[in-house]
Amino acid sequence: MGKIVPVVLCGGSGTRLWPLSRPSRPKPFLALIGENTLFEATLERASDPTKFAPPIIVAGAAHIEHIQGQLSEAADAEIIVEPAARNTAPAIALAAARLPADAVMLVCPSDHHIADTDAFVEAAGQASKLAQQGFLVAFGIDATSPETGYGYLRQGAPLGGGYRIAQFVEKPDLARAEAFLAAGDYCWNGGLFAFRAGDFLAELAEHRPAMHAAVLAATERGTSDGRLFHPDGAEFDAIQGESVDYAVMENTDQAAMVPAAMGWSDIGNWQALHEAQNTDGDGNAASGRAELMDCTNVMVRSDGPRVSAVGLENIVIVVEGDEVLVTTHAGAQLVGKLKGASGK
Amino acid sequence: MGKIVPVVLCGGSGTRLWPLSRPSRPKPFLALIGENTLFEATLERASDPTKFAPPIIVAGAAHIEHIQGQLSEAADAEIIVEPAARNTAPAIALAAARLPADAVMLVCPSDHHIADTDAFVEAAGQASKLAQQGFLVAFGIDATSPETGYGYLRQGAPLGGGYRIAQFVEKPDLARAEAFLAAGDYCWNGGLFAFRAGDFLAELAEHRPAMHAAVLAATERGTSDGRLFHPDGAEFDAIQGESVDYAVMENTDQAAMVPAAMGWSDIGNWQALHEAQNTDGDGNAASGRAELMDCTNVMVRSDGPRVSAVGLENIVIVVEGDEVLVTTHAGAQLVGKLKGASGK
C-alpha cells in the first residue's frame, strides 16, 4: 500500500481573527498556538515518512511567499498555484489531477488546530484503508459542544473502521445542534477528507463534468517552475466555484466517515482560539506583556504594549500594531464585521 | 466687601487614572473632560474679575513646570512652592499667611470637575458671606448616590444661606452611605472651603499651634522669585502633615456649610470620569479613534491606536503610550494597585 499524500489547502484570508489576521498575513501563516504557524503544524502532523508521502500544497498566488518562507528549502513538496480562488472542489481536483489514480490523498485545511497528533495519524490511517476500498472518506470530528457554526455528518451503517455517511447536515440552529449532541451519532464536518485521486476525479466527472473538464485542461496546459506548478489560468478561471461537500461528497454513493477525537478546532474566531489554548486555573491565557487582576477566562495577546486588565470575565484583548481589539466571547463572532477587519 | 481669593491646591500625583495620569503628568494637568485641563478649568471657573481676586496656587516643585505652562504669562497669580508635601492644612495655611487677615479665601482642589459653573459661583458667593461673618465654611456637595469613597457632612442648624455643620463623617460603608442618602441631610465633603485668612490662622493657632508657628516661620523666611514664592524649607519640612478637616474644620466651633448642587466629581477613578463625561444614548463615550459595536456604558480613550470594542458593557479602555488598560467599572477602584500604576 502506498503512502498517503497530504494535500494542504491554503485558502481564504480570514477576517475573524483580525487584527492578527489581515489580508497581508492570512491565518494559516500565524503562530496562533505554540511556536509553529498553523500551516507549519499541518505539515508537521502529516510528516512521518513511514506513513506519508511529500505533500501537495494548493494555494493562491498571494500565499506563495508565506509558503516558501515557512517551507524548508529542502522540502520535497509540490505547490500548486491556484490561478483564482474557486473554493475547495476545484482546488482538490487540481491536486488529484497531478497524482496517480491509485494515490490516496489526505485533504487537510491549513488553518485548523489539532491538539492530538497521534489521534489524527490514527484516523488518517483508518481513512486511508477505507479509501483503498473505494470510499470517499470524511473525518467525523467528535462533537463536544452544540456548535452552530459547523456542518454535521450523521453516522450510517458501520464499515470496518468507520461508517457510511447517512446524511450531510448544514449548519444547524442551537436547538438542533443540542439535539445532535444528545443523539450521539452526529459529528462535525471538519473539512478533512481521504480518497484515491482517481475515485475523486471519477465522481467529479459524474457530478460536475464541466468542472472536471476544466481542471484537467488547466492541469494539462499548466507549467512547472521548480516546485511550483501553475495550472492554466484561462481554463481555471472559468470554473464556477463550489465546495467539495456540495460538488462531490453529498452526491457520491461511496461517502464514508471515520470518527476522529483529536482535539480539533477550526479556530474560527477569538473565542475558539482562547478555548484551544492552554489556560491557567482561572481560564486566563496571556501572551506578551500583561497583568491580569481579578480576571476570569480572559485572553490577552499583545505584540508590544503592556496590557493591564482588571475585573474582566470572558473577554479577549488583542493588541497588534496600531489596532486594539477588546471583545466578549459572544462578540467574537462579529469581529469580521468591524471596520478594521474590512480594511477601513 | 473684598473679592474672594481663589486658593488652588495642586497636590498628589494620582495613580488611579493610570495610565493617563503618571508621576510626570499628574491629574490636575490632564484634559480629562473637554479641552481644558482640570487645573485650567479650576482657574477659569473662579475668574470673574467682579467677584474673584487673582488666585494663589499652592503646589509642589514637581508641579511648577506644568503650572507655568498652563498659566498665561500675564496672569496675576502667586504660586507658592511647597517645600514638601504636608497635606492640605499646611498648604492652606501658607496661602493664609500671605493674605490680609480679612481676605476671604476660597480653597479649591485643582483635580475635580464641576459641570455647573454658575452653581459653583453662586455657592462661592454664599460661602463668602458666611465667611465674612466669621464662619469656616465647607461646600456641602449634593449627594446623588451612596458613595463610600467620600467623607460626609451632616447639616445642622440653619444659618442665612447655609447651615452649621452638625457632624463630620468619615467614609462610610455602603449600608451607612445608603442611609445617609435616604436621610437627605448628609452631603459630600468635596474639599472646597471658604474662610477669612485670619480666622483660619486663629483656629490653626488654637488647635495646631506647632503647625501654625512653623507655617508662619516658613513664610517669614521665604523668598520671592517673580510670581513664585518659596517658603523656608527647614521650617516647613518639620511639620507633621494633616488634612484641613482633621486639623481645623472638625475642631472649630465656627464650622458651617453651604449646599452646592453643581455637578461635582472628584474624578477619583476611571468609572467616575466615565460618569462625568458626555455619553451617547448607549452610555458610551469615545475619544480618539474607536469603533464600538454592541457596546453599552463603554468608555474608550486612545492617544493613537484604533480601539475596536465588541459586545462590552460597563468597561473602560485606555490606550496611552505603550500601556493598555481594560477594566470593569467595579475594577476601576483597583487600578492604582496595578504594577504599571506603581511604576513597575
On chain A, the residues whose CB falls within 8 A of the CB of B328 are: 310-312
Cβ atoms of B255 and B264 closer than 8 Å: no
Among chain A residues, CA nearest to B313: A328
- What does DSSP say about strands B296-302 and B285-287: parallel, antiparallel, or unpaired? parallel
Residue A311 is nearest to which of B317, B322, B327, comparing CB atoms? B327
Taking chain B, what is the end-to-end CA distance rounded to the nearest angstrom?
52
Cα atoms in the Cβ-side hemisphere of radius 13 Å centred on A40 = 15
Q: Under an 8 Å CB criterion, which residues of A touch B?
A: 19, 291, 293-294, 302, 304-312, 315, 317, 319, 321-328, 330-332, 334-335, 337-341
Task: Domain ranges for chain A, please list them.
Answer: 5-265, 270-342
Which phi and psi (to 5°) does residue B278 adopt?
A: -70, 130
C-alpha cell at A292: 491580569
Sign of the CA dihedral running A320, A322, A327, A332: negative
Residue B294 is nearest to which of A302, A334, A341, comparing CB atoms? A334
Give the pLDDT score at B160. Answer: 87
Cα(B325)–Cα(B327) distance, integer angstroms: 6
Among chain A residues, CA nearest to B19: A308
Question: Which value, in Å, is the radius of gyration of the alpha carbons in chain B?
Answer: 20
On chain B, the residues whose CB falls within 8 A of the CB of A302 are: 324
On chain B, the residues whose CB falls within 8 A of the CB of A290 are: none
Closest CA to B149 of B66, B245, B237, B269: B269
Assign residue A191 a region (left: φ > 0; alpha: ψ between -120 and 50; beta: otherwise).
Answer: left
Give the pLDDT score at B13. Answer: 64
C-alpha cell at B258: 453651604
Cα(A326)–Cα(B317) distance, integer angstroms: 8
Q: What ipTM was predicted for this assembly? A: 0.87
Residue B324 is nearest to which of A307, A327, A331, comparing CB atoms? A307
Among chain B residues, CA nearest to A334: B310
Per-residue pLDDT tens, chain A, 344 aa: give them.
589 999 999 976 678 899 998 888 899 999 999 899 999 999 999 999 999 999 999 999 999 999 999 998 767 899 999 999 999 999 999 999 999 999 999 999 999 999 999 999 999 999 999 999 999 999 999 999 999 989 999 999 999 899 999 999 999 999 999 999 999 999 999 999 999 999 999 999 999 999 999 999 999 999 999 999 999 999 999 999 999 999 999 999 999 999 999 999 999 999 999 999 999 999 999 998 999 999 999 999 999 999 999 999 999 999 999 999 999 999 999 999 999 998 88
CB contact under 8 A, A293 and B325: no
Closest CA to A87 of A306, A254, A277, A239: A239
On chain A, the residues whose CB falls within 8 A of the CB of B294 are: 331, 334
Closest CA to B296 of B308, B310, B307, B306: B310
On chain A, the residues whose CB falls within 8 A of the CB of B306 are: 322-324, 340
Which residues, including other chains, have CB under 8 Å from residue B98's CB and lie 6 or more apart? B56, B78, B80, B219, B229
On chain B, the residues whose CB falls within 8 A of the CB of A324 are: 302, 305-308, 317, 319, 324
Residue B328 is nearest to which of A310, A332, A341, comparing CB atoms? A310
Give the pLDDT score at B288. Answer: 86
CB contact under 8 A, A308 and B319: no
On chain B, the residues whose CB falls within 8 A of the CB of A340 are: 291, 306, 308
CB contact under 8 A, A308 and B339: yes
CB contact under 8 A, B326 and A306: no
- What is the helix (H) or strand (E) element at residue B177, kind and residue range? helix B174-183
Report the gap between the CA of A114 and the closest CA in chain B (Å).
Answer: 28
The Cβ of residue A226 has, within 10 Å, a number of other Cβ atoms equal to 8
C-alpha cell at A190: 471538519
Question: pLDDT digits over B176-223, tens only?
Answer: 999 999 999 999 999 999 999 999 999 999 999 999 999 999 999 999
Dihedral angle computed from the Cα positions of residues B75, B80, B86 and B88, in that order, rounded to the nearest 10 degrees:
-50
CB contact under 8 A, A293 and B334: yes
What size, in residues, is chain A?
Answer: 344
Q: Under an 8 Å CB criterion, which residues of B touch A?
A: 19, 291, 293-294, 302, 304-312, 315, 317, 319, 321-328, 330-332, 334-335, 337-340
Residue B326 is nearest to which of A317, A339, A341, comparing CB atoms? A317
Cβ atoms of B86 and B239 closer than 8 Å: yes
C-alpha cell at A174: 442551537
Give the pLDDT score at A22. Answer: 85
Interface test with A, best of B270, B298, B306 (most A CBs within 10 A): B306
What is the reported pTM? 0.89
Residue A294 is nearest to which of B291, B324, B331, comparing CB atoms? B331
Taking chain A, what is the end-to-end CA distance rounded to the nearest angstrom?
52
Question: Which value, in Å, is the radius of gyration of the alpha carbons in chain A?
Answer: 20
Query: Number of Cβ pairs closer than 8 Å across A and B?
Result: 121
H-helix segments, chain A: 38-45, 61-70, 88-97, 117-132, 174-183, 197-207, 209-220, 233-237, 244, 270-276
Q: Which amino acid is at B12?
A: G
CATH number among 3.90.550.10, 1.10.3720.10, 3.40.640.10, 2.60.40.1080, domain B5-265: 3.90.550.10
- What does DSSP say about strands A296-302 and A313-320: parallel, antiparallel, or unpaired? parallel
Cα(A127)–Cα(A6) distance, integer angstroms: 13
Low-confidence ranges of chain B (pLDDT < 50): none
Give the largest Cα separation in chain A, rounded.
62
- What does DSSP say about strands A78-82 and A228-230: parallel, antiparallel, or unpaired? parallel
Cα(A117)–Cα(A14) distance, integer angstroms: 24
Among chain A residues, CA nearest to B339: A291
- For helices A88-97 and A197-207, the axis angle rounded to 10 degrees is 130
Which residues, including other chains, have CB under 8 Å from residue A152's CB and lie 6 or more apart? A143, A168, A169, A172, A177, A180, A186, A187, A188, A189
Give the pLDDT score at B344. Answer: 80
C-alpha cell at A130: 477505507
Cα(B175)–Cα(B177) distance, integer angstroms: 5
Among chain A residues, CA nearest to B307: A324
Interface test with B, best of A17, A293, A297, A326 (most B CBs within 10 A): A326
Residue B311 is nearest to which of A291, A304, A330, comparing CB atoms? A330
CB contact under 8 A, B324 and A306: yes
Cβ atoms of B193 and B244 closer than 8 Å: yes
Q: What is B194-248 written as a DSSP string?
A: EEEHHHHHHHHHHH-HHHHHHHHHHHHT-EEETTEEE--HHHHHTSPP--HIIII
Among chain A residues, CA nearest to B308: A325
CB contact under 8 A, A326 and B312: yes
B153-179 burial code (b ≥16 CB/10 A, e <16): bbbbeebebbbbbeebbeebeeebbee
Give the pLDDT score at A1. Answer: 58
Give the pLDDT score at A13. Answer: 64
CB contact under 8 A, B310 and A304: no
Among chain A residues, CA nearest to B311: A331
Residue B335 is nearest to which of A19, A310, A330, comparing CB atoms? A310
